[in-house]
Amino acid sequence: MDLGGGYSARPISLQAYRDACDRLQGQIFGDGSLYAFGPPVKAPPPLGETFSWGLYRAEELIGWSFAQQKDERTVYMADTGILPEHQGRGLYTRLLPQLLDTFREAGYSLVQSHHRATNNAVIVPKLRAGFLIQGLNLYEGGLNVALTHSLDNTYRKAMHVRSGLQAAQGETARRLGVPSEAQTESAVPPAISLPAGQGQDTELGGGYVLRRVPYEVYYDIYSGLEDAVYSSVSLNWPTPARLEPPEYPRYAWLIGHGEQVVGWQYSRQWDSRTAYMVNTALLPAHRGQGVYTRLLAPVLAALRAEGYELVRSHHHATNNAVLLPKLRAGFRLQGLQVDDHGVMAVLMLSFGGLYRDYMDVRSGLKRPTGEVAQALALERP
């Protein structure tokens, strides 16, 4: 496999892969925290089909990728390692499509992998390649995120149904054994003029602006455009809530284009340190143009200026279109929860280094040293 830039991936034997691990894994994974078991009592189960590749720069072995059959439909990407001096060059991103083609040709329907939950350097290229978040678990290495790539498009749609991102239709509904929701024409959104704002607009490029507005102005517009924006499946409560929502500081922006409202962002206080990005949306015609990515920086800057140290947000676990820009902006995956919107990924951003390092320690990506070790009472000041 030609990976560009003088790099290549070549099939190697299982023993050659194991030898490479023994020789290089300390340089690649040395900062991580892994529980040290004693000698095993039982023999490992027999391996099924295996796929071993050496990663080379010219003739120098600089890493590997190993996968093995998990069951009759699934191949498990167990281990990929690249020497630190060759990381950050897009090598993993370029490798993934070729590995997926190999697994498809071998007859597999699903590709699975596990990674430290805060290892965005690996999770981001995996999500870009089409993997979807499927779970979190604590194991001997820390907090792991489970990812699945479906080489079967119907199963991929089923994962979106399970998370609540999409309704079940056609063949997907039949395979899930649930009623098929009839396809309907998308609602044509009413044209709403961009109202006056508070302070100066933030230019987002491409003719888009971000305008701060009172919460009440945002909510009126949100109520009028909600049906044109969302196709996800949430629980419809049969009765109104009996209690009033608590009072907390709120922060709202409208996204404008051509003096028309095309989206919004609403955040509020979560606790004494944390802001919660509740709701961001764009009308369908304005998606896929990088607007969401570009609005993150000014919104986060505004929340930081309000005194918050952390920012959290919740998204459907299979909504890579939102998860990817959030992870690239520095958010970390911190949990999964089921609420009235579906199965949601919980993301957290820390403006300071201490809590960021803390998240890496909890996931097992890093060992506690320095300030975070002191904060965890593992080291004296």
Reported pTM: 0.93
Length of the chain: 381
- The residue ranges of every structural domain in the chain are 2-163, 202-238+245-363
Closest CA to 308 of 227, 246, 365, 248: 248
What gap in Å lies between CA 375 and CA 370, rounded to an integer?
A: 9
3-class state of residue 272 by DSSP: coil
Closest CA to 231 of 318, 166, 292, 161: 166
Closest CA to 355 of 337, 371, 378: 371
3-class state of residue 56 by DSSP: strand
What gap in Å lies between CA 188 and CA 218, rounded to an integer?
A: 20
Task: From residue 370, give the alpha-carbon distance in Å to each of 26, 27, 361, 378.
Answer: 21, 21, 12, 9
Closest CA to 278 of 241, 315, 304: 315
H-type helices in the chain, by residue range?
14-29, 91-105, 120-128, 153-163, 170-176, 215-229, 291-305, 320-328, 353-363, 370-375
- 177 sits in the region (left: phi over 0; alpha: psi -120 to 50; else beta) called left
**How much is the pLDDT for 169?**
93
Give the CA diameter of the chain. Answer: 71
User: Which CATH homologous superfamily contains domain 202-238+245-363?
Assistant: Gcn5-related N-acetyltransferase (GNAT) (3.40.630.30)
3-class state of residue 200 by DSSP: coil
**Structural element, H or E, at residue 9:** strand 7-11
**How much is the pLDDT for 71?**
94
In sequence order, the 6+-apart residues with CB closer than 8 A to the CB of 289 are 206
**How much is the pLDDT for 30?**
76
What gap in Å lies between CA 204 and CA 265, rounded to an integer?
A: 14
**How much is the pLDDT for 164?**
95
3-class state of residue 96 by DSSP: helix
Burial class from Cβ neighbours inside 10 Å (0-12, 13-18, 19+) for residue 361 reads buried
CATH number of 2-163: 3.40.630.30
In sequence order, the 6+-apart residues with CB closer than 8 A to the CB of 141 are 32, 33, 34, 35, 116, 364
- 347 sits in the region (left: phi over 0; alpha: psi -120 to 50; else beta) called beta
* Regions in the chain scoring below 70 on pLDDT: 186-187, 380-381
Q: Do domains 2-163 and 202-238+245-363 have the same CATH topology?
A: yes
What gap in Å lies between CA 63 and CA 9, rounded to an integer?
A: 9
